[in-house]
Amino acid sequence: MSMLSGLRRYYGLYGFRGVLAVGGYRLFGRPKEVAAHPPGIQNPVHIRIKTTDEFVYRDVLLQRAYAFDLPFYPKTIVDAGANIGLTSIYFAHRYPGAKIIAIEAEASNYAAMSRNVRPYPAIIPVHAALWNRDGEISVGEPDPASGAFGEWAFVTHEGGSGPKVRAVTMHTLMREMCIQAIDLLKIDIEGAEQEVFENTQWLSGTGCLMIEMHDRFRPGCSEAVEQAMRGFARSQRGETTFYVRVT
């Protein structure tokens, strides 16, 4: 990509401020982030240049990947695999008054999320990974053969010598956050769907699930989720599958 076409792309994403920031990054090596001002979002969000942040920003805040009309108003939202917090911020604007729990496993993503969600008291950041047991889990890069690309794309797995993070079950998360049911659950956890959906008692009060499944990381993810979500109405938009409880 030429410098001119790159600057045009950044202008389309972030406007004139983005062009200045990216120009400074290319010429001097800093800053390595953009303070973006997406339409309809009250506060700026900080996007790390040349990372997957850019794709998440485009999909969530520009193209509104989670703009799904629900038959109810969610009061309790869990954003699992919250990355840098952009989906939680979108939900905070769409559903004012909702309690939003944003859980992210990877340390640098969590730090970026904590900064982005600081202006939103309704968003509670949690540094942990959803899993099928409580304890500790490893965080590492996905297998390149999976097709994953870009910096800050991570998976959780047992064993290994990489960084560790706290592992929690959905039941533990709900108990610690003092919630009885999840009205809206968004999951993007890079292949840990199988572990999380091993025990689904927590689903009894869930109204809607928005999930991206990752069979390319761990075969069988879709099967585990589909089996658990029987009885829910299913629809698809891009890579996100939406399940809504049928009343």
Residue ranges of E strands in the chain: 33-36, 45-48, 76-80, 99-104, 123-127, 129-130, 135-140, 155-157, 164-168, 184-187, 208-212, 232-237, 240-245
Quote the pTM value: 0.87
CATH number at residue 123: 3.40.50.150
Q: Are residues 12 and 76 in the same domain?
A: no
Q: Are residues 102 and 181 in the same domain?
A: yes
Q: Give the tokens for residue 166.
A: 């706290």
pLDDT of residue 152: 44
Coil, helix or strand at residue 244: strand
From 43, 59, 75, the end of a domain falls on: 59
Q: Are residues 100 and 211 in the same domain?
A: yes
- For every one of its 247 residues, what pLDDT tens digit does the chain have, with 9 covering 90 and above? 555 665 566 666 776 666 666 666 665 555 588 889 999 999 999 999 878 898 999 999 999 999 999 999 999 999 999 999 999 999 999 999 999 999 999 999 999 999 999 999 999 999 999 999 999 998 876 655 545 444 445 777 777 767 899 999 999 999 999 999 999 999 998 778 989 998 899 999 999 999 999 887 778 889 999 999 999 999 999 999 999 998 7
151-176 b/e with 16+ CB inside 10 Å = b? ebbbbbbeeeeeeebebbbbebbbee
Tell me if 240 sits within 8 A of 65, measured CB to CB.
Answer: yes
| Percentage of the residues of the chain whose pLDDT score is greater than 70 | 82
Query: How many CB atoms are located within 10 Å of the residue 201 CB?
Result: 8
Residue among 86, 70, 106 at smallest CA distance from 38: 86
Q: Are residues 141 and 24 in the same domain?
A: no
Q: Please name the residues in contact with 100: beta carbons below 8 A apart, sequence gap of 6 or more.
A: 77, 78, 79, 88, 91, 92, 120, 122, 123, 124
Instruction: Classify 236 in phi/psi space as left (phi over 0), alpha (psi -120 to 50) or beta.
Output: beta
Q: Are residues 191 and 214 in the same domain?
A: yes
Q: Are residues 157 and 104 in the same domain?
A: yes
Q: Are residues 199 and 183 in the same domain?
A: yes
Q: Are residues 196 and 85 in the same domain?
A: yes
Q: What is the DSSP letter of 238?
A: T
Q: Are residues 172 and 199 in the same domain?
A: yes
Domain that holds residue 102: 65-245
Q: Are residues 45 and 83 in the same domain?
A: no
| Tens of pLDDT, residues 15-52 | 666 666 666 666 555 558 888 999 999 999 999 987 88
Query: How many CB atoms are located within 10 Å of the residue 73 CB?
Result: 11
17 sits in which H/E element: helix 16-28
| C-alpha dist (Å) from residue 18 to 1, 23, 199 | 17, 8, 44
Q: Give the tokens for residue 199.
A: 């025990």
Residue among 80, 81, 154, 85 at smallest CA distance from 114: 85
Q: Are residues 39 and 69 in the same domain?
A: no
From 59, 82, 103, the end of a domain falls on: 59
From 59, 83, 109, the end of a domain falls on: 59
Number of domains in the chain: 2
Q: Are residues 125 and 183 in the same domain?
A: yes
Q: How far is residue 125's CA from residue 15's CA, in Å, rounded to a whole number?
A: 28
